Structures are given as C-alpha cells and as structure tokens.
C-alpha cells in the first residue's frame, strides 16, 4: 500500500468525466478528505457522463447512450451512492432516495417473459423449463467455472463448446444478458458464471438500484455532477488531454506534467509527485455512428482513425511509455467482432404498452430485457417504466434495445441491421413481437446508434493486454474504467467502473481500505473452505 498522502497537499487530476471519474471524486472528498477545490476533472466533452448519456425530446426522438446492458449494480455502486446527499432530502443519501422510490414503485410481481421465439401461430414465450441444457453442457460449464484463469488463457468461448451449445435457450439468455459472443473471451464467460449463475432465475428482474426514477444519466450522473460542482470541484470541459509527461529522473513512472488542449492552445499543468492522476482508458462508444428514423448510420467504421478517439489516443501514449499500461490496439483491431447496434424508439399516442403486456404478460419496468431467440440480428429490447426521461410527456413511450449481430440480414427486413434506418429497425422489432406495423410505425421515431467497439472489453486477452488499476512501478498514476484488470469481476457495467475508482482512491491515497469483495456463487465459497478454487 502507498504511504498515506496528506489530503490538504494533494491535487487530484481526473482525466474523463464518466462514472469512473465522478465516483473517484466522491470517494476522494468523502473518504480521503481531499479538499474539493483540489480535485480537477478534465474532459473533451461539453458535459459529464462518458458512455452514460441521454438526450432528445418527444418531438425529435429520444436517444439513450446507456451501453448495451442492464446495470448489474452491486455493493461498490451502493457504497458510492451512499456518500452522495440526496437533492430532495439533504439528510438522506442518493442511495436512500433511489431505494425509497423503488419501494413506492416496485411492480407487484416479477417478470415472467425473458425470451420469445417464433411459433406456428406467431411469437410465443419460452418457458423456464426450456433453459435446461442437459448433463453434458452442465458439466462443461462447471468445468469452466472451476478452471483457473491462467489455464484458460486467451481462449475463445467456442473453443470449449460445440456449435449446438450456441443454439440453446440458455446461451440465448446468457449471451444477450452480458452481450457475449461465441468468439469472446472464455475468461469473461467464467467470471459471469461465477458471479451470476446462482441468480439465473432472477437475472431479468429489475432490482432496486436498476429502478431509478428516470434514466441513469438523469438519476445518478446529473445529481452526482451537481453535488461535485456545489462542493467546489474544478471541472474543465471541452478540454483534451493530449499527453502525460513523466519525470525522467524518477525510478518509478511519475507524472510530472499534463498537456491539455483548450480550443487552439496547449496548456501545461505541472504535477507534483505528491499529486495524483487518474485516467479513464478507452471507450466502448468510440467511433459510434448515429442514424435517424429515415437514415441508417453513415457507415461501418473500420479504420483506426475512425475508431480511436481521445480516450484511446491517451492510452496509446501511455502504452509507448511502459508495457505495464497494457495494449489498447488489441481491443480495436477487429470491429466486426466487437460491434453492437443500439436503438431508441419514441412512440406517441400508441397502445404499444397494452400490446406488450398482452403478448408477454409483463408490464413496463418489470423485466430488464426481452430477447428474440430467432432474431438474425440478435435483438433484445428493454421496456422500462414510464416516463423514462424528466421531459417526457405522458402520451409518449420510450423503449431501448440493441442487436448483437448488426452485420446480419434481418428476418423481416432484408438488409443488414447496420444499413437500416430507424424505421426499418422498428419494423423488425414490431414484426418479432407480432404487432401491427400500420398502427405503430407512423407513431414511432427510432434513432439507431452503431457502436463498432461496443463489446471490445469482452475480447479474448492475454495477461498483458489490460493494465492493473495501479500499474507496477507507478508513483502517482492510476487507470480506471472498463479496460483495466480487476480480478474476478465482470466488465461492461457501472459496478466495474466504480470498483476501479475505489481501488484507485484507496491505493493512491494510502487508505487502509478495500472495495467490497466481488460476489461469487455459493458453491465456490464452499469449495474454498474445502481447499480453494
């Protein structure tokens, strides 16, 4: 552990303003006691949020930049939100206000439909019994869970399972829940199984921290940002950190200067060895292309200059300084293996929710996802409670979804998803549900967003591809986000980013504290008692 720093003499420079940096700032203030005015958040965007954003209106259509997964919030997110005062009640925390809202708005029963398939008479619900995979695949899954990560190495999932496994309803459930593809990392499948397999019957039920009043952006990002501004944290928006300069005389990697581009000028910030710098690495949203209701996303980005933005450029700069910062290029070299396409459908004066409840038996906000097992695009949709946005009129419904296979031709629309307009994507979705196109399409406005690096953190990787939160031989630098290595935890969710921030704060500030342990299947805890796994 680092020697404890004097918080009054420490300046913290946080590069990026996503949830990783925001939570790091909160922990620096509340636990490390760093004066808020000593905390500086620098971001190229005009506002906070990183990959968690939402925008739009009922007239032009809403657009949710929420990533492609439900948020598997856990104890790290709870600890973080417990430190932020509620705007409605300063005596309570943001965590308490979210839980209070859940108590008042919790559905009377859990979701009953997670998967839908095409039957002889149209769409039909997949029963829970159809998730059974037989003794052979059960044993293979257990074997993966119990094998060490060192032994599994940089292998793909399809190196451990045959083609029939990927046609099972179990795989449909698991892959759409965690955005896993057959060519993704066996390590990520192992971690997902070890953490979530025991909850398989409840994976689709929306828990308290998933049921915020509005979007994650409006219910968490905005209140946290407002709290930090009120405390006096120093924000620098529309500012790009082009490089970090290291102290050439230090035996450890020590940041000595931050070069920031503000408009047309370069600004150099001197960094003392007693200061700390935290960098959010990469971005699954980098290179994203947004379409409209009548137009598809412009094209499928494949060239490196289209894919690599400022988040990646700074990581590449760090990689050239030391191999301990990992290899960002590993995650950007095959966009056709990492692409997903999300979409947001805005419906006005429609009976969509009535049709949806009749077809699935579930009301809005009950389940996290509904996936179509026969979809060539690998489609899933989320029908949350309404209104989802603060400025959303009562006669408007907003739903969100994504496709795991944007390169493939649709079942009902004879085009690859990535070449479809929003209206064509809505046509495919409504057709899978068996809903009337004549009724819904004129009332819908769908905005697609192609993300070529959407699942890049899930690619097979070696031990040197992802850096540790505190890379070896670094003195005042930590790295955060979805591309750092955190043992046993699963990436592509808010919990992972917040955990990385907590690890960075506790280590760099020399606090005698660690984040909560990652949840594991009960069987693994029992086996630990019998000799370890």
The 3-state secondary structure of 71-140 reads: CCCCHHHHHHHCCCECCCCCCCEHHHHHHHHHHHHCCCCCCCCCEEEEECCEEEECCHHHHCCHHHHHHH
What strand order describes the sheet that includes 12-15?
234-236, 39-42, 12-15, 276-280, 477-480
Residue 209 in this model has a pLDDT that exceeds 60:
no
> Which pLDDT score is estimated for 49?
79
With contact defined as beta carbons under 8 Å apart, do 439 and 351 qualify?
A: yes
Query: What is the spatial distance between Cα 269 and Cα 413, in angstroms, rounded to a whole number?
Result: 53
The answer to whether residue 348 sits within a structural domain is no
pLDDT (average), residues 502-518: 96
Q: Are residues 141 and 82 in the same domain?
A: no
Q: What was the pLDDT predicted at 160?
A: 97
How far apart, in whole angstroms, are the C-alpha atoms of residue 464 and residue 470? 14
pTM above 0.85, yes or no: yes
Shared-domain flag, residues 256 and 216: yes
More confident site: 519 or 349: 349
Measured at the CA of 394, the angle between CA 215 and CA 493, to 5 degrees, comes to 15
Flag whether 444 is in a domain: no
User: Domain check: are 11 and 91 in the same one?
Assistant: yes
Question: What mean pLDDT comes out for the span 353-367?
Answer: 91
Instruction: Give me the pLDDT at residue 128, please.
Output: 59
Examine the domain organization and report whether 83 and 223 are in the same domain.
Answer: yes
Mean pLDDT for all residues in the chain:
91
Domain annotation covers residue 333: no
Does the residue 37 lie in any domain? yes
Provide the pLDDT for residue 523.
Answer: 63
The mean pLDDT of 153-169, rounded to a whole number, is 96
Q: Are residues 200 and 232 in the same domain?
A: no
Instruction: Output the pLDDT for position 48.
Output: 86
Give the pLDDT confidence of 445-483 residue by residue, as tens digits.
999 999 999 999 999 999 999 999 999 999 999 999 999
Closest alpha carbon to 43 in 223, 309, 227, 276: 309
Same domain, 74 and 149: no
Whether 289 has a pLDDT exceeding 90, the answer reads yes
Q: How far apart are CA 355 and CA 359, in angstroms?
A: 6
Residue 468 CB partners (closer than 8 Å, separation 6+): 324, 479, 484, 485
In a domain, 514, yes or no: no
Residue ranges making up the domain that contains 195: 132-204
Structure confidence at residue 269 (pLDDT): 96
Counting residues of the chain whose pLDDT is more than 90, the rounded percentage is 72
Helix (H, G, I), strand (E, B) or coil at 60: coil
Q: Of the candidates 27, 33, 42, which has an alpha carbon nearest to the alpha carbon of residue 314?
A: 42
Residues 147 and 268 in one domain: no
Instruction: Please tell me whether residues 182 and 220 are part of one structural domain.
Output: no
Express each pLDDT in 332-342 by its tens digit. Answer: 999 999 999 99
* Beta-strand pair 289-290/53-57: unpaired
Provide the 3-class DSSP secondary structure of residue 245.
strand
**Residues 18 and 96 both lie in one domain:** yes
| Residue 273, domain CATH | 3.50.50.60
In this structure, the answer to whether residues 30 and 97 fall within a common structural domain is yes
The reply to whether 183 and 236 lie within a common domain is no
Report pLDDT for 308: 86
Mean pLDDT along residues 168-175: 92
Confidence of residue 69 (pLDDT cuts 50, 70, 90): very low
Task: Give the pLDDT score at 141.
Answer: 94
Domains contained in the chain, number = 2
Residue 107 above 60 pLDDT? yes
Task: Read off the pLDDT of each residue in 180-189 and give the average, rounded to a whole number.
Answer: 97
Q: Is the pLDDT of residue 326 over 70?
A: yes
pLDDT greater than 80 at residue 119: yes
Q: Which residue has the tokens 């060539």?
A: 376
Answer yes or no: do 198 and 219 share one domain: no
């Amino acid at each position: 552990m680092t020697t404890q720093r004097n918080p009054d003499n420490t300046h913290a420079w946080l590069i990026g303003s996503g949830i990783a940096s925001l939570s790091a700032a909160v922990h620096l203030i509340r636990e490390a006691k760093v004066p808020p005015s000593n905390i500086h958040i620098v971001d190229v965007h005009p506002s906070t949020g990183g990959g968690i954003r939402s925008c739009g209106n009922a007239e032009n259509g809403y657009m949710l930049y929420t990533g492609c997964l439900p948020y598997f919030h856990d104890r790290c997110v709870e600890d973080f939100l417990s430190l932020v005062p509620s705007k409605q009640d300063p005596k309570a925390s943001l965590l308490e206000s979210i839980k209070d809202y859940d108590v008042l708005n919790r559905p009377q029963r859990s979701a009953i439909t997670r998967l839908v398939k095409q039957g002889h008479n149209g769409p039909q619900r997949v029963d829970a019994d159809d998730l059974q995979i037989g003794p052979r695949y059960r044993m293979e899954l257990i074997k993966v869970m119990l094998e060490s990560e060192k032994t599994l190495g940089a292998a793909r999932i399809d190196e451990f399972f045959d083609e029939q496994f990927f046609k099972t309803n179990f795989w449909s459930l698991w892959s759409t829940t965690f955005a896993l593809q057959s060519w993704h990392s066996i390590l990520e499948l192992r971690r997902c199984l070890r953490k979530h397999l025991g909850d398989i019957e409840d994976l689709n039920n929306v828990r308290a921290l998933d049921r915020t009043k509005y979007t994650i952006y409006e219910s968490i990002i905005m209140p946290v940002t407002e709290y930090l501004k009120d405390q006096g944290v120093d924000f620098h928006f529309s500012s790009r950190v082009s490089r970090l300069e290291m102290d050439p005389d230090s035996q450890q990697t020590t940041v000595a200067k931050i070069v920031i581009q503000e408009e047309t000028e370069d600004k150099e910030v001197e960094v003392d060895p007693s200061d700390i710098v935290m960098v959010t690495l990469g971005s699954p949203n980098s290179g994203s292309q947004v379409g409209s209701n009548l137009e598809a996303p412009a094209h499928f980005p494949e060239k490196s200059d289209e894919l690599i933005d400022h988040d990646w450029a700074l990581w590449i700069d760090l990689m050239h300084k030391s191999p301990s910062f990992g290899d960002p290029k590993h995650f950007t070299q095959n966009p056709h293996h990492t692409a997903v396409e999300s979409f947001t459908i805005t419906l006005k004066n429609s009976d969509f929710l009535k049709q949806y409840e009749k077809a699935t038996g579930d009301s809005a906000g009950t389940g996290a996802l509904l996936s179509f097992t026969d979809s060539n695009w690998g489609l899933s949709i989320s029908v949350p409670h309404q209104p989802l946005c603060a400025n959303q009129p009562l006669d408007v419904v907003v739903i969100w979804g994504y496709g795991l296979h944007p390169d493939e031709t649709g079942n009902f629309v004879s085009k690859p998803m990535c070449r479809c307009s929003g209206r064509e994507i809505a046509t495919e979705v409504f057709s899978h549900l068996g809903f009337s196109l004549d009724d819904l399409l004129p009332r819908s406005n769908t905005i697609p967003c192609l993300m070529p690096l959407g699942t890049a953190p899930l690619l097979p990787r070696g031990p040197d591809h992802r850096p540790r939160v505190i890379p070896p031989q670094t003195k005042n630098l930590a790295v955060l986000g979805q591309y750092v290595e955190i043992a046993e935890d699963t990436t592509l969710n808010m919990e992972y980013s917040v955990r990385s921030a907590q690890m960075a704060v506790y280590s760099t500030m020399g606090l005698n504290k660690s984040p909560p342990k990652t949840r594991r299947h009960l069987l693994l805890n029992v086996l630990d008692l019998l000799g370890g796994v």
